[in-house]
Amino acid sequence: MQFLTARATMQPHAVPTLDDIRDAAARIAPHAHVTPVLRSRSLDALAGCELHFKAEHLQRIGAFKFRGAANAVFGLDAAQAARGVVTQSSGNHGAAIALACRLRGIPAHVVVPHAAARIKLAAIADFGARIVPCEVAQADRDRVTAQVLAETGGALAHPFNDARVIAGQGTATLELLQQVPDLDAVIAPVSGGGLLSGTAIAAKSLRPGIAVYGAEPAAASDAHESLRQRRRITDMVPATICDGLRAHLGTLTFPILSAHCDGVLLPDEAEIVAAMRRLWERLKQVIEPSGAVALAAILRDPDRFRGKRVGVILSGGNVDLDALPWLVPSS
C-alpha cells in the first residue's frame, strides 16, 4: 500500500517529541536557513537583561513558518505529495506552504480570506500557489478548505494544529539552544500555538529548568485566557494590528501549552508598536508587528527578566512599508 512507506510517517495529531523536532531539523536542512542570533547593547540596557534575538524574519519567506511548512511538505510520501497540499492561511504560512511545494514540485492550494494583507497575498502568488478566496469567518474558511481537499485529494497542512508543523517550528529553538546553550528563558509569540508549542517542547526537553513564555497582544488574549481558565477559548474576537496573531489555540496546541508553557504575557497595542520601532531603530531589522510582541512583553514586565539570558523569537518581517503603524492609524 502506498501509505506504508519505508520511513514511518508522523501522525498529524500526535504530540511531537524532541526526536520529532530533530527529525524535522534534518528534513528541512537542505531547504531552510540556519538563522543568526542578533544582539544589541542598547536593547539589553533598555530591558535590563541579555537579549538573544533569534532572527526568524531572515528565514525563507521572511518568517519561521517555512520551518513547519517544509517539514509537513517534505514529510509526505510520494503518493500523498503528488496530489498536492491544501492549507488555509491569511499570511506567512500560506507563503511557506507555497514555497515548500514549489521546491518539491507539487501543487499548493491556499485558502485565503479576502481581508489578507496585500504583501502576504503577493508572496503566496509569487511562489506559484493557487489562491482560493473565502470569507473571513472561520466557518467559511473551513467550508472552502474541505471543498478543495475533496476536489484535489490533497493533504491538509494546518497552520498550527498539526504535529509535523509544530515539530518544524520547534527547530528554531533547537537551533537557538545550539547557538546560545545557557538561556534562562525563551519567549515566542502565540497565536494558534504552533510556534510556541514547538518552542516549549524543544526548550523544556533540552533544558528542563528553562522558562518558556508566550507573548500575545492584550487585544487578542485568547491563549492567555485559555491557559488561565484551563479550557480552550475560541470565541474571542481579536482586535490587534498583529495580523499574524489572530488565531485561537488548537486542540493539539492547547494541551501542549497547558503542560509546558510558564505563562502568556500581554503587551498592549502601543507597547507592541513601540517595541517594533525599537527593533527597527536599534537592531536595524525590519520586523512585523507580530514579530515584535515578544520584545514588547519583556519591556512591559522587566522585573521578570532582570539579569536573565533571554531568547526572543523574532518571528517574521513581512510588513507593508506603505502602512507602518507609527505613521497610519491602526485598523
Whose Cβ is closer to a second copy: residue 58's or residue 233's? 58
Please state at what angle helix 18-28 crosses helix 163-179, rounded to 10 degrees.
80
Residues near 99 by Cβ (< 8 Å), separated by ≥ 6? 60, 61, 66, 69, 127
CA distance 25 to 282: 31
Q: Are 238 and 215 in contact (CB under 8 A)?
A: no
CA distance 218 to 311: 21
User: What would you report as the CA-atom Rg of the chain, rounded to the nearest whole angstrom?
Assistant: 18
Of residues 4, 78, 237, 321, which one binds a second copy by CB under 8 A? Answer: 321
Of residues 4, 284, 303, 329, which one binds a second copy by CB under 8 A? Answer: 284
Reported as half-sphere exposure (CB side, CA atoms, 13 A), residue 139 has a value of 1
CA distance 133 to 106: 20
- Considering the rule CB under 8 A, would residue 277 count as an interface residue with a second copy? yes
Q: Considering 40, 54, 89, 90, which one is annotated as catalytic?
A: 90
Q: Which stretch binds a second copy (CB under 8 A): 5-13, 159-167, 216-224, 277-285?
A: 277-285
Kindly state the smallest distance separating residue 61's Cβ from a second copy, in Å. 10
The CA distances from residue 59 to 103, 158, 171, in Å, are 15, 20, 12
Of residues 71, 145, 161, 285, which one binds a second copy by CB under 8 A? Answer: 285
Footprint of a second copy on residues 7-66 (CB under 8 A)?
36, 41, 57-58, 60, 62
Of residues 84, 168, 194, 317, which one binds a second copy by CB under 8 A? Answer: 317
Q: What angle do CA 227, 265, 315 make, to 5 degrees?
A: 105
Kindly state the smallest distance separating residue 233's Cβ from a second copy, in Å. 33
Kindly state the smallest distance separating residue 321's Cβ from a second copy, in Å. 6
Residue 90 known to be catalytic: yes
Kindly state the smallest distance separating residue 66's Cβ from a second copy, in Å. 12
Kindly state the smallest distance separating residue 282's Cβ from a second copy, in Å. 9
Q: Which stretch binds a second copy (CB under 8 A): 10-18, 23-31, 158-166, 314-322?
A: 314-322
The CA distances from residue 248 to 203, 279, 296, in Å, are 22, 26, 20
Whose Cβ is closer to a second copy: residue 223's or residue 279's? 279
Of residues 280, 301, 308, 330, which one binds a second copy by CB under 8 A? Answer: 280
CA distance 261 to 213: 6
Q: β-strand 130-134 against 108-113: which pairing, if any?
A: parallel
Kindly state the smallest distance separating residue 325's Cβ from a second copy, in Å. 11
Site for a second copy (CB under 8 A): how many residues? 19
State whether residue 187 is helix, strand or coil. Answer: strand
Burial of 306 (0-12, 13-18, 19+ CB in 10 A): exposed
Of residues 78, 237, 327, 329, which one binds a second copy by CB under 8 A? Answer: 327
Cell of 169: 517550528
CA distance 243 to 223: 15
Whose Cβ is closer to a second copy: residue 233's or residue 324's? 324
Residue 284 known to be catalytic: no
Footprint of a second copy on residues 116-175 (CB under 8 A)?
none
Whose Cβ is closer to a second copy: residue 267's or residue 317's? 317
Kindly state the smallest distance separating residue 315's Cβ from a second copy, in Å. 12
Looking at residue 70, its amino acid is A
Cell of 3: 501509505
Q: Which residues bind a second copy (CB under 8 A)?
A: 36, 41, 57-58, 60, 62, 277, 280-281, 284-287, 317, 321-322, 324, 326-327
Catalytically active residues, by annotation:
65, 90
